[in-house]
A and B are shown apart, each in its own frame.
Chain A
Amino acid sequence: MSAVTASHYTADYPAIAPSLPGQSLPWLQQLRTDALQAFSATGFPSPREEEWRYTNVSGIEKKLFSVPANQAASDVSADLLKAYQLQDAWSVVLVNGRFSAELSALSGLPDGVSILSLADALATQASQVQSHLGQAVNNAEHGFVAFNTAWFSDGLFVHVPPKQVLAKPIQLLHIVTQADALATTRNVIIVEESAEVKVVETFVGADNAYLTAAVTEVFVGQNADLTLYKIQSESEKAYHFGGIYIKQERDARFTHHNFAFGGLMARSDIHADLDHSSECVLNGLYLGVKRQHIDNHTRINHLKPYGISRETYKGVLDDKARGVFQGRVVVAEDAQKTDSQMNNRNLLLSVDAEVDTKPQLEIYADDVKCGHGVTVGQLDDKSVFYLQSRCIDEETARNMLTFAFANEMVDKISIKSLHDNVLEQVLARFPQQGVDKEWL
């Protein structure tokens, strides 16, 4: 791997290190030092690594993205906020990788519930952070995780005590305003026993090239229920890496909805470890146009018996876009009675578009029910004909069917305002004459 460019970033590190949160915490300093060492050794992942064979991030190395000096909230356009900030939610807004109290909305939190920036959490409840940070994922994963651990400048920290059911969702709004900015954020979400929470991660940015490198660690306690939405609507020129690493305890339920719309090159990692009778649902939709490269990488580890997992990823690729799906289900020796289904469906709309998909089953237990399915193709001719026979012209018919294909994933969103917001974004992808809002 290009040790040259890794050193390019590492050389920059001493200058920014003092500005990173948690200076007074020796354990965190140690964690960062180790991570820096790991990153120096490996650099960013290369396509020679099996898990990255379809995604080449050398673009990140050619450019040097750097931590922006300006993190002012005034930089954020009102339009952007209006378009993406949910009104009926507690929101934590990060501008260029730093918390903005001004833009965030955190009033009226129930007692015992912590929703704050990670930097603040490191100041006020360091021990809670210490016992979780780096527990769901470590540097060995790949270069981006090590990079994030060394560089993170802020993030979201959520702690929900046992049996607490949050009335409103929590939104993490990640905004990058500056060109060539590096926004490295680390989020920790702890949902204790039998609590119920919905979290929305939204990634947006001004029309610039920049790099987002976010890592989210999620801990779902016994019988707790967490629904996590990720709306990746980065700028068309941006690079995005977002890793979500989940530890589920017994009977815990975790549902993820992953919408990947933006970025020049975007990669998501979603890795869940399941305990006894845990349930894990991963849904995803990726829409690629122009020269976008969208990679979704999921791993579900069934470590104990009776786990259930359901995975559905859909992709629509147009122009010269390339979609990558890598899904892996591992059933450990002990994980008898596992029930796992994975599905990946792709629509290719243009001769220059490409899909690479790699669903994997790795099974070490015999009493299991596991399956996966993949399709790559185009719209069903019979369906198109059916619509045409009802006096709908072909183009409209195709648009309707493509939209319907994607909309199945949008309809799974249970937060009304978010649903409408995502629907808006999906509609913007389809020429208007085909998909009339009236029908919806």
Chain B
Amino acid sequence: MSTSEQEIKNLISQEYKQGFVTELETDTFPPGLDETVIHRLSKVKNEPDFMLEYRLKAFRHWQTMKSPEWAFVKFDPIDYQAISYYSAPKRKEDGPKSLDEIDPQVLDAYKKLGIPLDEQERLAGIAVDAVFDSVSVATTFKGKLKDAGVIFCPISEALREHPELIKEYLGSVVPHTDNYFAALNAAVFTDGSFVYIPKGVRCPMELSTYFRINAANTGQFERTLIIADEGSHVSYLEGCTAPMRDENQLHAAVVELIALKDATIKYSTVQNWYPGDKEGKGGIYNFVTKRADCRGDNSKVSWTQVETGSAITWKYPSCVLKGDNSVGEFYSVALTNNYQQADTGTKMIHIGKNTRSTIVSKGISAGKAQNTYRGLVKVLKSAENARNYTQCDSLLVGDKCGAHTFPYVEVKQPSAQVEHEATTSKISEDQLFFCQQRGLSAEDAVSMIVNGFCKEVFRELPMEFAVEAQALLGLSLEGSVG
């Protein structure tokens, strides 16, 4: 493979193409966190009183907690006082009424990212909520969704307009006491998406949120809440990018999904936060709590994630399978290169009868990266005939990286059937040789083999995302074999 060495070097040194910074005027809080910051935050967002109380409660609880250390990742302690907890593009007092009023530079930024906020140039049939630093700047297709009865809006708007739904559901899946980062998020979250699908409605289009960190020295704390009422169906996509910076930035989001009786939620993520440079400098710390509550019978939640970015990824999208016959799925591709670290996986908690879960995790580790799958399958005594199938495959590219598998299986019900399987290997020389011998370059061969390795997961992604994910994977990985 020495012939293609130069080509490989070129590919490895390929820049993170979403790494630009948008210059614009912002309203940014000075760094630091105390109760006055939370008061101010709540006031800026014009929130109802109960939210302020909720935030303060969370903040007080957070102060009693310690940063967890059990994950297989290494990072310097985070100085929470050095982070600014609010940053938003400057805007007129009453906010933009239409796209024309959004700062054209913000629009430009999204155009550069290939996210059309302009409905005329839209990707067919996808409604987008764009979150820029701490605030949502635009939500498209609101009208069409309203006709269907679907509520899709920034969560800060939902706080004002649908307080009864917020009161009932916010924090009901991930309570503010859940973990360190969830508590922090509950105290300081600034925006995010809110989705409510009424009874029996099949959401007419894919919903999507695009998260962008732009400002320096800020953290992004977004909160997403999706409620699928009885018999409804929704597919939700999430994408994220950030500029290239030498310092690490914290992203601590909380995502709560609630599926009532017969409802289905499909949640897809393509995570491409800035991963840091080749020496491991900079990059986003992606410490996220994602959990779905399959509350009703026959409900279904499917998580699909493609994790290629972030210096550190630390997240476990989970399903609590409460309803009888409910189904949880987790499909994941986690790719780490250079000095990236990922500790990711899922938790499937079987409570209801005949609950089923499927876990397919593909880890790819290259460069000096560490990639860990950590998962829990727990079958409680009440979960008669529960069924789980887990498959974790790891692919190692290069001899300086690590791939680890830490599954936990806890079964208290004899009629349950739980299977876990894991393999770790490298790209086979034979396969590479076979492809090259038929005229493919080493790069194309690796890309093809890796794509094949991840196919089970990509198949679960919505069309547009699948294309993006494959391209991303190629970009992040190609060339690291040589």
Contacts and interface: CB of A to CB of B under 8 A. Distances in A.
A348 B420 contact: no
Contacts of B397: 366
Nearest to B366: A366
Interface string A371-386: 1111111100000000
Contacts of A359: 405, 407, 420, 422
Interface string B391-426: 000101111111111111111111111111111111
Interface stretch (A139-147, A168-176, A350-358): A350-358
Interface in A358-373: 358-373
B379, B400, B422: residue with the most chain A Cβ atoms closer than 10 Å: B422
A346 B419 CA distance: 10
Contacts of B421: 371-374
B409 A357 contact: yes
A333 interface: yes
A349 interface: yes
Contact of B410 (A336, A356, A377): A356
A366 B423 contact: no
B414 A370 contact: no
Interface residues of A, number: 35
Nearest to B399: A366
Contacts of B425: 368-370
Contacts of A364: 401-402
A50 interface: yes
A346 B405 CA distance: 20
**Chain A interface, DSSP helix/strand/loop, else mixed:** strand
A336 B414 contact: no
A373 B420 contact: yes
Contacts of A355: 409-411
A377 B417 CA distance: 4
A93 to B, nearest CB: 39
Contacts of A50: 70
A378 B417 contact: yes
Interface residues of B, dominant DSSP? strand
Interface residues on B, range: 35 or more
A361 B419 contact: no
Contacts of A372: 405, 420-422
Contacts of B420: 359, 372-375
A374 B401 contact: no
B354 to A, nearest CB: 15
A440 B406 CA distance: 39
Contact of A371 (B399, B411, B413, B423): B423
B422 A358 contact: no
A286 to B, nearest CB: 15
A368 B420 CA distance: 20
Nearest to A351: B414
A369 B426 CA distance: 8
Interface in A226-267: none
B199 interface: no
Contacts of A376: 379, 409, 411, 416-418
B381 interface: yes
Contact of A361 (B405, B410, B414, B426): B405
A291 to B, nearest CB: 15
Nearest to B419: A375
**Most A CB atoms within 10 A — which of B70, B416, B417, B418?**
B418
Interface in A264-318: none
Contacts of A333: 399-400
B178 to A, nearest CB: 19
A373 B415 CA distance: 19
Contact of A353 (B402, B406, B414): B414
B419 A374 contact: yes
A360 B70 CA distance: 15
Nearest to A54: B410
B395 to A, nearest CB: 9
Contacts of B417: 375-378
A358 B407 contact: yes
A402 B405 CA distance: 30
A361 B404 contact: yes
Contacts of B413: 348, 351
Contact of A348 (B401, B411, B424, B426): B411
B408 A371 contact: no
A374 B404 contact: no
Interface in B109-124: none
Contacts of A360: 404-407
Nearest to A336: B399
Given A355-B411, A361-B405, A374 B418 contact: yes
Nearest to B425: A369
A204 B476 CA distance: 58
A363 B409 contact: no
A440 to B, nearest CB: 27
A365 B399 contact: yes
Contacts of B404: 360-363
Given A351-B414, A377-B417, A362 B408 contact: no
B400 A363 contact: no
Interface string A312-346: 00000000000000000000010010000000001
16 contacts: A333-B399, A354-B411, A355-B410, A358-B408, A359-B420, A360-B404, A360-B407, A364-B401, A364-B402, A368-B426, A369-B425, A370-B424, A374-B420, A376-B416, A377-B416, A377-B417
Given A349-B414, A377-B419, 14 more contacts: A336-B399, A346-B411, A348-B414, A355-B409, A356-B409, A358-B408, A360-B407, A363-B402, A366-B397, A366-B398, A370-B424, A371-B421, A372-B420, A378-B417
Interface of A: 50, 333, 336, 346, 348-378
CB-CB nearest 10 A-B residue pairs: A348-B414, A366-B396, A374-B420, A377-B417, A361-B405, A376-B418, A371-B423, A370-B424, A376-B411, A364-B402
